[in-house]
Amino acid sequence: MTARRRLDADGAICLLRAVLGGDAATVLELTGHDVVLDVPRLPRATGAEGINDALGEARDAYPFQIVDLRPLHAIVSSDGLVAETRARLLDRGQEVILPFALVDAVEDGARTIRVYHSERLLTGVRRGRRVVFPVDSDASPTLAAHPAVRAYMEATRSGDPGAILQRFAENALLDNGVRPVTDPGELRAIVTAMAHSGGARLVGGREFDDGRVVAFEYTGLPRASSVPDAPRTPPGGGIGIYTYDAQGRIVSVRMYDDFDPDALIAAGSTPADSDHTA
């Protein structure tokens, strides 16, 4: 069977609904058979038989009722599509908000559909997605090529909270899709915790840039921490969506991994901050 055209934002919603519902026929109709399907809680699969087998596990892996799937933003570039979706799910009668990012791109001659979401938002446990881009843990970092994102990542490597904050535009936003952070004090606490805990080293990856928003796929490896019990993001694959301004400063970052803003705010707050906010 010939490969289907690249998905658009509406097609990404249809595909995500089919994946969560274990509907292999619709997935294959949307993508064709010659596709690699990489979904966090399912086996990585390719071909009609492999995708049928993998999606046979979907209802057990994602035992949720879909209330609503709402498109947020789509990056369309020559490198592929990145579609962001906000899902409202029911889990044993309790509503769960789970943001997804879906990537549709060609890698090594093969069409690949890759899905990202936080595991922590479902289970409360920071487990990390399986690695997307295998790397040597001792390899040098592969920084993003886009200048705005590269400058931000270089600042995070510096260990200087002030240098990181300088890469943000005024009223910048950090968001995991559920808990947006816009308060300057909270933002400073987060970057302070990131700097003091060593943060994560983002290695490998692909970029998708539409001229105002860039998505960066990566494998995250934790750096050595000098702070006991610092919040750590587990090693694994993730994607960040960065909006930037004309000066190359970061306007917003949306993370589709186990980013935990409240834990970082608590770790990065000083006693004076706590007294002020009490």
**Cβ-based burial of 86 (10 A; exposed 0-12, middle 13-18, buried ≥19):** middle
H or E element that contains 104: strand 94-107
CATH number belonging to domain 147-272: 3.10.450.50
- Mean pLDDT computed over 97-121: 93
Instruction: Examine the pLDDT at 8 and tell me if it is beyond 80.
Output: yes
- Mean pLDDT computed over 221-245: 73
The pTM of this model reads 0.89
Contact 66, 89 (CB under 8 A): yes
Q: Which amino acid is at 35?
A: V
User: Maximum Cα–Cα distance for the chain, whole Å?
Assistant: 64
Share of the chain above pLDDT 90, in %: 54
CA distance 232 to 154: 19
- What residues does each domain of the chain span? 9-117, 147-272
pLDDT band at 133 (very low <50, low <70, confident <90, very high): confident
Fold of 9-117: Nuclear Transport Factor 2; Chain: A, (3.10.450)
Do 147-272 and 9-117 have the same topology in CATH? yes
pLDDT tens by residue, 199-218? 667 776 789 999 899 999 98
CA distance 239 to 241: 7
